[in-house]
Amino acid sequence: MKHSQSKSVFDYYGKPSFGKALPLSFQHILAMIMGAVTPPLIVAGVAGANAQETMMLVQVALLFSGISTLLQLYPIGRLGAGVPTIFGVGFAYVPSLIAIGTVYGVPGILGAQIAGGVAMIVVGIFIKQIRHLFPPVVAGTVVLVIGLSLYDIAIKYMAGSGNVAAEGFGSGQNWLVGLTTLAVVLCCSQFAKGYLRLAAIICGILVGYAMAFSFGMVDFTRLHEAPWVMVPTPFALGIEFHASAVISMVVICIVNSVQTIGDLSATTVGGMNRELKDKELSGGLLGNGFCTLVGSIFGALPTASFSQNVGIVAMTKVISRYVLGIAAAFLILAGLLPKFGAAMTTIPYPVLGGATIIVFGMITMTGIQLLVKDELSSRNITIVALSVAMAMGINAVPEAIAQLPDTARMLIGSPVIVAASVAFTLNMLLPKKSLQDEAREREQIEREMNGDEAPATPYQNRQIKAEAGN
């Protein structure tokens, strides 16, 4: 199918000039690159990887983040969603990866990941038949919790680090840089005109980076240590299969598919003002499963949709796949040229936090947009309320599940998984009642309380007239 070649950044097939597209692309890169780099660093630490293996995990993560994104933007056959989205090595898997890596090391993770990728592909193949099990009340709840669960990350970043025990965490200098970055993003997005408004995030990052540099907060150590070129080698980190690791990974990959459903739905609703199509959803899940499967051979950890980039799309309405494709190309470049990737990770945490906290808020609002597509009946409100309460409550008190088995902690420890599981289960179990059904029930209760001789209610009168007309 041929598409007219527009230059609009608001057209999925639009191809603006490279000069206009580049800053918009870097917004996406800078918003997600620390999220893509951090999981392999964490896994390397718990799995006892040496310096060379750690560098390999990081670089392959960047490489497959770019490949996975390109596949989603430019589908091959049934692989890829064909919507403006960024995929990459995801944080959602980290608790499971830590549990597996602690016992079986990196080879155990990569072996289990092969089975997880196959599980994602199976979900993608049959998603059309089971999509009715994930109506807006379920998908919207998941997206809402995704946004809510990211706030603490943004606040930690603004305070200085992802680790509250880090030196200088919460200092006034960190907050000054973070709030200044946020102020620039907010001012550009609300008061600037034209192109500057679309590039609000990159403007905030540039100002915040300059301020952080003047304060001596920019660390170039990783840049100096990184080699110039790295070529991934199949099976370089080894692959092992262990039953418990495979089961844990399959479960987490299937459940995290619900997050992909939520993110893809949020992208089309928030950025394209329409519902997600079955073909797009299936392609997104199949593409993600394929990249997770192939990535394990080269040492890349499981990929997932990046919610912060969904927020950028919803905030700016820039949906040109050319813009996001440039971001994917730079991620691939960063994966092959470690110096380049290391340069992008020199951005201090307060700058990243200030630039992304408003983006996380946009994800929450997109979740609300999805929710109101369904009736706000008592049934649906109950599903959302209990799902959010359980997810965020457990997330706030991790000690509450400390005595559970490792596998259970891996699953329940993720607020997104808790929300998805509770919302899905309640949607299956609770009687499906519309607002009209609930109104009819209340009138029935009122009649019973007032006795049989109670005067007919307005609803009863309408029913009597309708029956008389027949």
pLDDT 10s digits, 99-150: 788 888 999 999 999 999 999 999 999 998 988 888 889 888 988 988 888 8
Please state, in angstroms and rounded to a whole number, the distance separating the CA atoms of residues 64 and 26: 18
- Structural domain contains residue 92: yes
DSSP-assigned states of every residue in 408-467: HHHHHT-HHHHHHHHHHHHHHHS----HHHHHHHHHHHHHHHH-TTSPPPHHHHHHHHHH
- Structural domain contains residue 153: yes
- Structural domain contains residue 172: yes
146 and 263 in contact (C-beta within 8 Å)? yes
458 and 340 within one domain: no
Binning pLDDT at 50, 70 and 90, where does residue 54 land? confident
pLDDT at 456 over 90: no
pTM over 0.95: no
457 and 337 within one domain: no
249 and 301 in contact (C-beta within 8 Å)? no
357 and 237 within one domain: yes
pLDDT 10s digits, 288-339: 999 999 999 999 999 989 888 888 998 899 999 999 999 999 999 989 998 8
- Structural domain contains residue 161: yes
Tally of domains in the chain: 2
306 and 446 within one domain: no
Binning pLDDT at 50, 70 and 90, where does residue 402 land? confident
- Structural domain contains residue 203: yes
Long-range contacts of 241-247 (CB under 8 A, 24+ apart): 241/111, 241/112, 241/114, 241/115, 242/103, 242/104, 242/108, 242/111, 242/112, 244/407, 245/100, 245/103, 245/104, 245/108, 245/109, 245/111, 245/112, 246/111, 246/112, 246/115, 247/407
Count of CA atoms in the C-beta half-sphere (13 A) of 307: 32
- Structural domain contains residue 11: no
- Structural domain contains residue 434: no
pLDDT value of residue 465: 55
SS3 of residue 231 by DSSP:
coil
- Domain of 334, in residue numbers: 18-375
339 and 251 within one domain: yes
Please state, in angstroms and rounded to a whole number, the distance separating the CA atoms of residues 120 and 123: 5
pLDDT 10s digits, 180-189: 999 999 999 8
- Structural domain contains residue 261: yes
Domain boundary among 375, 405, 428: 375
